[in-house]
Amino acid sequence: MNNISDRIESLKRTLPLGVQLIAVSKYHPAEMIREAYDAGQRLFGENHVQEMAAKQPLLPADIQWHMIGHLQTNKVKYMISFVAMIHSVDSLKLLREINKQAQKVNRIVDCLLQLYVAQEDTKFGFTLEECRQMLAEGEWRQMNNVRLCGVMGMATNTNSDDEVKEEFIAIHNFFTEIKEQYFVDVPCFKEVSMGMSNDYSLAVQCGSTMVRVGTSIFGARQY
């Protein structure tokens, strides 16, 4: 399976109905994204705002761009006019900025709350307790230009499937907890974004609704 089209088709066959594939296109050129687009892929994930903003005008307008990397508040304005979903909301400060910039362009932007459960200092996100506190304080309820749609998380980069599974279950359990407490009547609050090329099968077993896969589609990154 040397071409992108075959890899996408093969990947999608492994995903249950209702699980969306985000093709992670960071560090890959627009031509490769176009090849995936021609194979029917519409959801693409990028880690860097500048890279995403540079690619967006070169590619079809119906692509849904997902911001999946750590996002600085001062970069939000560069993508707010076109980004489909921001997976990496890791602070109330960032949520405020997204709301503020979205208001300027008269958009409502879908967002996921990024949770920190991994045993790694390099990962970002709310701890579960920080997220509980942020939701309880309720400022988010007044933000009319963001729409909270679920949670995102990453497991520890380890060879232990048991540890990875435990972390994915913790993310899904927390999603269920806050869904019941705050979003029980909110149909759009339904996404659990977890799982990448090396662990997406485990993530799906644990209730993921969105998997973020790059290497298995595009091959090794082109830095």
In the chain, the domains with their CATH numbers are: 4-218 (3.20.20.10)
Structure confidence at residue 160 (pLDDT): 95
Structure confidence at residue 223 (pLDDT): 54
Per-residue pLDDT reduced to its tens digit, 46-55: 999 999 999 9
Per-residue pLDDT reduced to its tens digit, 183-216: 999 999 999 999 999 999 999 999 999 999 999 9
Say what the pTM is.
0.96
Write the burial class of residue 153 (CB in 10 Å: 0-12 exposed, 13-18 middle, 19+ buried): buried
